[in-house]
């Protein structure tokens, strides 16, 4: 058979298996464990940032001045700490993790575009700021996956749903 015909047979088979049947990959127990580990790692950066912001409150206000955030800094910092702790703990525990991820996105996306606006930096700082910007965008992607997928099997939500009181 010619190579083109083999390609079309393969593509047709892939289409049939993927889009027209109930063929699904088996669920592996490791997938549930990786969901849990991913939530732990994802929430760690936000909880750490909340602790850091609390411990270095005055230094954070100075940094906010450097980025032009001068309006009601105390309110903005307390709000940020609330979003970081609440969202981080919700994601970590897996209880209403979608809401927790949305709270974290409410904080994370504006901060990414304000602090890591690499397009405004001179050449020596451009590279590091663009790397930090892309890191934050990747974390945003992880939060969006959590919004779409949910917390997974190992979560407080599943524990409460299966426990009889």
Q: Average pLDDT in the 79-87 region?
A: 95
Cα(120)–Cα(67) distance, rounded to whole angstroms? 12
67 or 157: whose pLDDT is higher?
67
Q: 141 is written with which tokens?
A: 């992607």
112 or 68: whose pLDDT is higher?
112
> pTM of the predicted model, to two decimals?
0.75
163 or 75: whose pLDDT is higher?
75
Nearest to 71 by CA among 82, 85, 61, 81: 61
Label residue 153 by pLDDT band (50, 70, 90): confident
Cα(45)–Cα(93) distance, rounded to whole angstroms? 15
CA angle 85, 91, 92 (to 5 degrees): 85
| pLDDT over 60 at 103, yes or no | yes
| pLDDT over 80 at 30, yes or no | no
Cα(74)–Cα(93) distance, rounded to whole angstroms? 28
Going from N- to C-terminal start, the domains of the chain cover 28-162
Q: Average pLDDT in the 146-152 region?
A: 85
| pLDDT over 80 at 16, yes or no | no
CA distances from 30 to 33, 61, 70, 160 (A): 5, 43, 47, 22
Label residue 95 by pLDDT band (50, 70, 90): confident
Q: 78 is written with which tokens?
A: 């307390």
| pLDDT over 70 at 17, yes or no | no
pLDDT tens-digit series, residues 38-49: 899 999 999 999
CA distances from 158 to 6, 49, 93, 110 (A): 46, 28, 10, 32
What's the pLDDT at 149?
85
List, in sequence order, the alpha helices (H) in the chain.
3-15, 29-55, 57-66, 73-93, 97-115, 123-149, 156-162
| pLDDT over 90 at 94, yes or no | no
């Amino acid at each position: 058979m010619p190579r083109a015909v083999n390609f079309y047979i393969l593509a047709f088979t892939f289409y049939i298996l993927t889009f027209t049947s109930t063929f699904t990959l088996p669920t592996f127990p490791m997938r549930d464990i990786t969901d849990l580990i991913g939530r732990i790692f994802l929430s760690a950066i936000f909880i750490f940032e909340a602790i850091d912001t609390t411990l270095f409150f005055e230094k954070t206000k100075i940094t906010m001045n450097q980025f032009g955030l001068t309006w009601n800094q105390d309110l903005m910092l307390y709000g940020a700490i609330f979003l970081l702790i609440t969202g981080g703990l919700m994601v970590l525990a897996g209880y209403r993790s979608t809401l927790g991820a949305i709270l974290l996105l409410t904080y994370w996306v504006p901060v990414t575009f304000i602090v890591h606006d690499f397009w405004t930096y001179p050449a020596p700082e451009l590279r590091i700021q663009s790397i930090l910007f892309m890191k934050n965008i990747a974390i945003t992607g992880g939060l969006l996956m959590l919004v779409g997928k949910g917390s997974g099997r190992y979560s407080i939500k599943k524990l409460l749903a299966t426990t009889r009181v």
